[in-house]
């Protein structure tokens, strides 16, 4: 799905851990995941590192219309929560 010429991110997905804001357990997340549930409490955590869709002119082509809309909605919710 990702364009072969993406200049913004590495082509190989990475795995990182995020702390669950609800229970404090670690959530294992892949760099290409948009969201992941905490295995301990079920909290839905979002991948807030997916910011290339905000600035990349090819983002919609790269991830597809549906994923682009989904990622933009996630970013909108994150902005509302931080405001």
Chain segment 49-61, per-residue pLDDT in tens: 656 677 777 888 8
Chain segment 24-45, per-residue pLDDT in tens: 999 998 877 778 999 999 998 8
**pLDDT band per the 50, 70, 90 thresholds, residue 3:** very low
Shared-domain flag, residues 39 and 21: yes
Long-range contacts of residues 58-61, Cβ cutoff 8 Å, at least 24 apart = 58/3, 58/6, 61/3
Shared-domain flag, residues 56 and 76: yes
DSSP 38: -
Per the structure, the complete domain to which residue 83 belongs is given by 50-83
Is 0.95 surpassed by the pTM of this model? Answer: no
Residue position matching structure tokens 């301990």: 40
Tokens linked to 64 = 């597809």
Which of 40, 42, 44 minimizes the C-alpha distance to 25?
40
Q: How many separate domains does the chain show?
A: 2
């Amino acid at each position: 799905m990702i364009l072969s010429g993406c200049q913004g991110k590495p082509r190989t997905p990475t795995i990182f851990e995020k702390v669950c804001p609800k229970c404090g357990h670690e959530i294992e997340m892949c760099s290409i995941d948009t969201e992941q549930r905490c295995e301990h409490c079920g909290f839905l955590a979002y991948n807030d590192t997916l910011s290339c869709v905000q600035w990349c002119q090819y983002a919609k082509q790269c991830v597809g219309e549906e994923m682009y809309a989904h990622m933009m909605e996630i970013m909108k919710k994150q902005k509302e929560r931080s405001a």
